[in-house]
Amino acid sequence: MNSENNNSSTPSNPSTPSNPADPHTEQIPAQPESPQHASTADFQQVRNPYAHPSTPSTPFAPETQSAAAAGASEQQWEGAVPGPVPVPGSVTGASEGVGSQQEHSTVTLLGPSEELNAAQQPAAPKKSRTVPLTGAIALALVAAIGSGTLTGVYASRNQEVTSTSAVLEQLRTPVSNEGATVAAAGSVEQVAAAVLPSVVSIQVSTRTGVSEGSGSIISSDGYVLTNNHVVSAAAEGASQVVVTLNDGRELLADFVAGDGNTDVAVIKIRDVADLPVMSFGDSSSLQVGQEVVAIGSPLGLSATVTSGIVSAMNRPVRAGGSNTGESTLIDAIQTDAAINPGNSGGPLVDMNGNLVGMNSVIASLSSGSDSSGSIGLGFAIPANFARRVADQLIATGQVTHPMLGVQLNPNSNVRGAMISEVTPGGPSEAAGLQAGDVVTRINDRSIDSTDALIAAVRSSEFGQTVTLVVEDANGGNSREVQVTLTGE
């Protein structure tokens, strides 16, 4: 067996005599290495490779052998080597010592078939294998490392199992509700909980297609406020109106009346009572920056809640009705709360859950309605205006608006609304207004276009007296005029 540093001489053939010129070489028959660890009985003789070859060897006495075997570990670490035993033996190689005194010592394992001289022959001939001391130490270290490695692998796997068990235990632990709190008053969560029961989804089916939108229940017996463009197809007959309540019930409804000029309509759910009702707020008290919540069924996704602020007030926007003419304008609330197709007719509420607007129009950068979506520019009909129109629709089926009694020139190049004609006997004639006058303000609101004046007048109350600031076509001769709007 070679020593650890691989410098041992190669065993020669047993039939070849040993080289007499080399006193450190002897003939040892090659034997297969045993995979088992050497026992103390295998350590028979310790030789000093530097003893003179002519010195006869003296085999250990049994007690010496036992002592050597028992002290093997001490010899490994302390370098304790028995005194020189002058016997010609092979130096299988200089081993790397662990201790300070064993750098050139070897340990010879004797077997039953070793061939020795008569003077060197022990009582019972045995084969021998030569293993350096460092080789024996290496075997011991390998055994120790092997044991430690097995222990380490076991510990690692044990830790992995423990870690996995801890994770599974954590995942299976019942959730805690300590963090759950009651929705704070005025929060979006609280507003949604209060308002959702009074919001419905609307679907109108005709022979040519289906239209969808949203609505607000405004009476316990089933009246619903919505946009005219959502339900106008039902006014033509041969249609079916289905309303889906927040609790999932689908109920039939009938078209009551609608106004294309203001885009306000009313339908009624059949055979219902004690429905939750939307409460109205005062839209005239809204302030820019005030928080609002939009609720509806965008793209058919019912009970969708979005939040934002009032971005602006008094935006003249065309909403429904014909595509031309002043009658299509509304005085809208602008909001950044996300509004998409399907939100039409749904409520815009304040943080008290009161209806302050009806979502109606969105601005879009897309020219195709199929791909349009919210870009943070949504518009709602003020609740005060929608409520007044709905009242007329339910009571009479028709809508009238406050009037100034003038015709306006939409093609003028002036900043403001230019009067092209004054209606004889109307409020404006009584106030002294003339053709060519340009209205630049109504009360505290600036007027920069024809649409702005129409929207402002329609948002006013019947019979209300308003203050107009009027100039001539050249921007001079500014004056204030008091005008009382027409009544119902």
372: annotated active-site residue: no
CA 388 vs CA 281, 319, 343: distances in Å = 13, 17, 21
Helices assigned H by DSSP within 187-253: 188-195, 228-231
SS3 84: coil
Token pair listed for 430:
């009584």
223-226 and 129-132 beta bridge pairing: unpaired
What is the four-CA torsion angle of 110, 114, 116, 118, rounded to 10 degrees?
Answer: 90
Token pair listed for 472:
């001539």
Question: What does the alpha-carbon distance between residue 454 and residue 466 come to, in Å, rounded to a whole number?
Answer: 13
Phi, psi angle pair for 108, to nearest 5°: -105, 125
In terms of residues, how long is the chain? Answer: 488
Residues 6+ apart with CB under 8 A from 64: 82
Question: What does the alpha-carbon distance between residue 107 and residue 120 come to, in Å, rounded to a whole number?
Answer: 17
Of 344, 374, 428, 460, catalytic = 344
SS3 482: strand
Decide: 265 and 393 in contact? Cβ < 8 Å: yes
Q: Write b or e for each residue in 98-124: b if 16 or more Cβ atoms lie within 10 A of its Cβ, otherwise e.
A: bbeebebbbbbbbbeebebeeebeeee
Of 42, 259, 263, 350, catalytic = 263
472: annotated active-site residue: no
Burial class (CB in 10 A: 0-12, 13-18, 19+), 324: exposed
344: annotated active-site residue: yes
| Strand residues in 378-437 grouped as ranges (E) | 378-382, 406-409, 417-422
Of 57, 201, 216, 229, catalytic = 229
Question: What does the alpha-carbon distance between residue 467 and residue 488 come to, in Å, rounded to a whole number?
Answer: 20
The residue type found at 279 is S
Kindly list the catalytic residues: 229, 263, 344
